[in-house]
Structure 1
Amino acid sequence: MTNRELEILNILKEDPMISQDELAAMLGISRSGVATHIHNLMKKGYIKGKGYVLSERNFVTVVGGINIDIIGIPDGELIDNNSNPGKIHFTIGGAARNIALSLKQLNIPSYLISVYGDDMNGEKFVNDSNKKELDIQYCERINGQRTSSFLYIDDISRTKTMGIDDMGIFDNMTPDFMANYLKLINQSEYCIADTNLPAESLEYLYKNVTAPILIKTTSINKNARLISPYQNIHTLITTSVELKELLASYGEPYTDLEQAARFILSKNVTNLIVFSIKEGLFFMNTSGKIRLNTIPCTVINTSGTSAVFLSTVVWGLHNNLDWDQILKFSYSAAILSVKSREPVSPLLSATELMAEEKRLFKK
């Protein structure tokens, strides 16, 4: 799908009865140009018949963590062993929750599969999800347990210095728990998981899930959980620090990024993406590699960056974009994300994403 076709498709999702003349005026192109794009979208199966009826879309399942993030940001340079004046922010987050919310804002239907506690933070999660119209019907409340929380401190440059996570509740997401949702997961277009899941549960997904599995690493001390003799990963998204730790978990020395990528691809990983706002992007699969350099930007909050990035990868795969397009759109989504205090920017949408991609990667 071309960028123009993608732009038109997203307009049709918002207003299926819009006329070709209105589309032409909105896009600044001729009516005959619009007609050609509409014809191509129909031929490719994205729309059908009159009135631009959208073809039925598949959904995505997202399995992993929801979280309450408590973020401390100092006013100046951090002073060790001392109280530091600054600001403390509370946000609803978690890798899987942020992914599901990003997908919703990009008009990709998804079901979030997770657990939360019967505490005040659990109530906050439910209320926030209802407010944002996030589907949480497959999130289970665990009585007598605390909702997962993550306390961390940024330095003045918005880089995490250290954190403490209280995530024991995810031990409830056992293989038996997963089995309850296996039919749903296998009906989905993609299954996204994060490494908050226990190792045996990730192995259960490898063994039993038929949908392509995408995994996001969440911290260096959880990387080893994704390693299994049954490992079967469509796309792995990680950072350079986590990649080095992952190689160590395999007992493999780290020489350079490409050597590390080749090794990971040999472990039944089809696509590898190494990304951070500060270091840029490296992608590799058996067909080749792509690098995107660091893009300078104002950073307010990085807590949801990789989740938003992964969601946009799925959005691109869903829309049959090539990897060069997918990575540029995903990087653009990450830039949108770090400009917001929320882990998922309220501005994130397909329309805003395409505008940001044009601004950052204009030909």
Structure 2
Amino acid sequence: MTSREKEILELLKKNPQISQQELADILGITRSSAAVHITNLMKKGYILGKGYLLKAQDYVVVIGGANIDIHGFPKIKLIPRDSNPGNIKTSPGGVGRNIAENLSKLGVAVKLLSALGEDLHGENLLKECKKSGIDMDHCYFSKDFPTSTYLCILDHNGDMFAAIADMKIQEKISVEYIREKAHIIDHASVAILDTNLPEDTLTYLLQHFHSTDFFLDPVSTTKAEKVKDKIGLFHTIKPNRMEAEILSGASIRSEADLKTAAIYFFSKGVKRVFITLGEDGLYCGEPSEQYLLQSPKVSPVNATGAGDAFMAALAYCHTQQMSLKDTAHFATAASIVALSHEDTIHPLMSIDTVQKKLRELNL
């Protein structure tokens, strides 16, 4: 869907009886252009008939962390235990929130279930997320806990050197809260979970929503332990090498080991596996096929947002029913787009930008 078509759909939701001339006047286009956009929306199935009867919009729900991110960028090689000259940048972050923003930039309707404090950071996050097109209407707001904060120091290569996360408020994403939002999860085309969630919340989600396709971002080796015995309840998982070792119990030192780990996941019930290997590429598979995708050579500006872009792309591809190979290539290209900007979320992330990168990389 184009950005203009999205604008027209929003206007039709507010006033299904609006005329094409009124649409044209509001958008500053000709009536004939408005008619063409309406016709295209009907062909794509978003408008079902006369009177602008709208199809219920498919959406992805992301359940996970929303933070304020503080990143430190050294100007020279980082010296441990010393004051380093550099730049400091504050921006919206959090694994779940970052995935949600990438999805929105890829044209996917997305709802975020997260917890924010009733403080300045929370107000800023809410405003920025809404500006990015994320539906924040179902978040939990707490007077007792501050909004999550993530402090990260990068090295001179743009890789994370050390980080501290204050995420106590995520405990408010409780089983009770999830019960209240059951209708949101039930009707989602995909539900993406990150392991910042409390373990009992993760367990409840996986055991009570059997018609939902769950995607997993393990976040870290420590947090991956929360879902080790529930891994078969996920449709798609995206661990890195170390997280895959924790989840499968296998030592991964070769392509044969990667295949062994993938087969373990399939035996448990996982439908698709994407093991990210950094510079060594990506091992991806489903029960009928698996292969190793070599990583193109790139010079990262900031590596912290690549995984979030990759996960968002996986969900986008799932909504488009793309093949394993096409999904792997698209998600890889999306992660490389993310790597190329100092912001965690590339401001120009879009389907067109990813497709352009695919052509550049000859994927």
Identify whether the pair has TM-score above 0.5, normalized to the shorter chain. Answer: yes
Shift of the alpha carbon at 1:276? 4.9
Residue 121 and residue 332 in structure 1: after superposition, are their counterparts in 2 closer, same or farther (change >3 A)? Answer: same
What amino acid does structure 1 have at the position aligned with 2:342?
R
Give me the whole-angstrom Cα distance separating, in 1, the residues matched to 2:102 and 2:137. 17
Please give the root-mean-square deviation of Cα atoms over the aligned residues, in Å: 2.8
Is the CA contact (8 Å cut-off) linking 2:73 and 2:154 kept in structure 1?
yes
For structure 2, list consecutive stretches of 5 or more residues without a partner in the other structure.
9-38
Shift of the alpha carbon at 1:262? 2.0
Q: What residue number does 1:285 align with?
A: 286
- Counterparts of 1:1-363 in structure 2, within 5 Å, are 13=5, 57-209=57-209, 210-229=211-230, 231-248=232-249, 252-254=250-252, 256-361=257-362
What amino acid does structure 2 have at the position aligned with 1:271?
R
What amino acid does structure 2 have at the position aligned with 1:233?
F
Is the CA contact (8 Å cut-off) linking 1:188 and 1:211 kept in structure 2?
yes
Is the CA contact (8 Å cut-off) linking 1:155 and 1:161 kept in structure 2?
yes
Residue 14 and residue 137 in structure 1: after superposition, are their counterparts in 2 closer, same or farther (change >3 A)? Answer: closer
Residue 345 and residue 54 in structure 1: after superposition, are their counterparts in 2 closer, same or farther (change >3 A)? Answer: farther
Is the CA contact (8 Å cut-off) linking 2:231 and 2:270 kept in structure 1?
no
Query: Any idea what the Cα deviations from partners look like across 1:266-291, whole Å, max 9, x if unmatched?
Result: 23222110125433211022111132
For structure 1, list consecutive stretches of 5 or more residues without a partner in the other structure.
1-8, 17-37
Query: Any idea what the Cα deviations from partners look like across 1:297-353, whole Å, max 9, x if unmatched?
Result: 231222221111111111111112211111111111111111122222111112222
Query: Any idea what the Cα deviations from partners look like across 1:96-133, whole Å, max 9, x if unmatched?
Result: 11111111111111110000112221122012123323
Is the CA contact (8 Å cut-off) linking 1:290 and 1:324 kept in structure 2?
no
Give me the whole-angstrom Cα distance separating, in 2, the residues matched to 1:284 and 1:303. 24
Is the CA contact (8 Å cut-off) linking 2:117 and 2:146 kept in structure 1?
yes
Is the CA contact (8 Å cut-off) linking 1:233 and 1:268 kept in structure 2?
yes
Q: TM-score, normalised by structure 1?
A: 0.82
Residue 160 and residue 11 in structure 1: after superposition, are their counterparts in 2 closer, same or farther (change >3 A)? Answer: closer
Q: Partner of 1:283: helix, strand, or coil?
A: strand
Give me the whole-angstrom Cα distance separating, in 2, the residues matched to 1:140 and 1:149. 16
Residue 54 and residue 324 in structure 1: after superposition, are their counterparts in 2 closer, same or farther (change >3 A)? Answer: farther
What amino acid does structure 1 have at the position aligned with 2:284?
F
Shift of the alpha carbon at 1:13? 4.6
Identity of matched residues, %: 27
Residue 333 and residue 79 in structure 1: after superposition, are their counterparts in 2 closer, same or farther (change >3 A)? Answer: same
Q: What residue number does 2:30 align with?
A: none
Q: Partner of 1:146: helix, strand, or coil?
A: coil
Shift of the alpha carbon at 1:55? 6.2
Is the CA contact (8 Å cut-off) linking 2:215 and 2:237 kept in structure 1?
yes
Q: TM-score, normalised by structure 2?
A: 0.82
Residue 11 and residue 144 in structure 1: after superposition, are their counterparts in 2 closer, same or farther (change >3 A)? Answer: closer
Is the CA contact (8 Å cut-off) linking 2:277 and 2:283 kept in structure 1?
no
Q: Partner of 2:82: helix, strand, or coil?
A: coil
Q: Partner of 2:303: helix, strand, or coil?
A: coil
What amino acid does structure 1 have at the position aligned with 2:201?
S
Give me the whole-angstrom Cα distance separating, in 1, the residues matched to 2:273 and 2:231. 18
What amino acid does structure 1 have at the position aligned with 2:314?
V
Q: Partner of 2:347: helix, strand, or coil?
A: coil
Shift of the alpha carbon at 1:294? 1.5
Query: Any idea what the Cα deviations from partners look like across 1:52-95, whole Å, max 9, x if unmatched?
Result: x9965411111011111111222222222222222222121111
Give me the whole-angstrom Cα distance separating, in 1, the residues matched to 2:171 and 2:56. 36
Is the CA contact (8 Å cut-off) linking 1:10 and 1:350 kept in structure 2?
no
What amino acid does structure 2 have at the position aligned with 1:131?
K
What amino acid does structure 2 have at the position aligned with 1:264?
F
Residue 171 and residue 238 in structure 1: after superposition, are their counterparts in 2 closer, same or farther (change >3 A)? Answer: same
Shift of the alpha carbon at 1:207? 0.8
Number of equivalenced pairs: 328
Query: Any idea what the Cα deviations from partners look like across 1:25-70, whole Å, max 9, x if unmatched?
Result: xxxxxxxxxxxxx99x96x9789789xx996541111101111111
What amino acid does structure 2 have at the position aligned with 1:288?
E
Is the CA contact (8 Å cut-off) linking 1:152 and 1:160 kept in structure 2?
yes
Shift of the alpha carbon at 1:228? 3.4
What amino acid does structure 2 have at the position aligned with 1:61?
V
Give me the whole-angstrom Cα distance separating, in 2, the residues matched to 1:350 and 1:241. 30
Give me the whole-angstrom Cα distance separating, in 1, the residues matched to 2:179 and 2:140. 14
Give me the whole-angstrom Cα distance separating, in 1, the residues matched to 2:3 and 2:128. 27
Give me the whole-angstrom Cα distance separating, in 1, the residues matched to 2:223 and 2:88. 26
Residue 10 and residue 322 in structure 1: after superposition, are their counterparts in 2 closer, same or farther (change >3 A)? Answer: farther
What amino acid does structure 2 have at the position aligned with 1:103?
L
Residue 229 and residue 339 in structure 1: after superposition, are their counterparts in 2 closer, same or farther (change >3 A)? Answer: closer
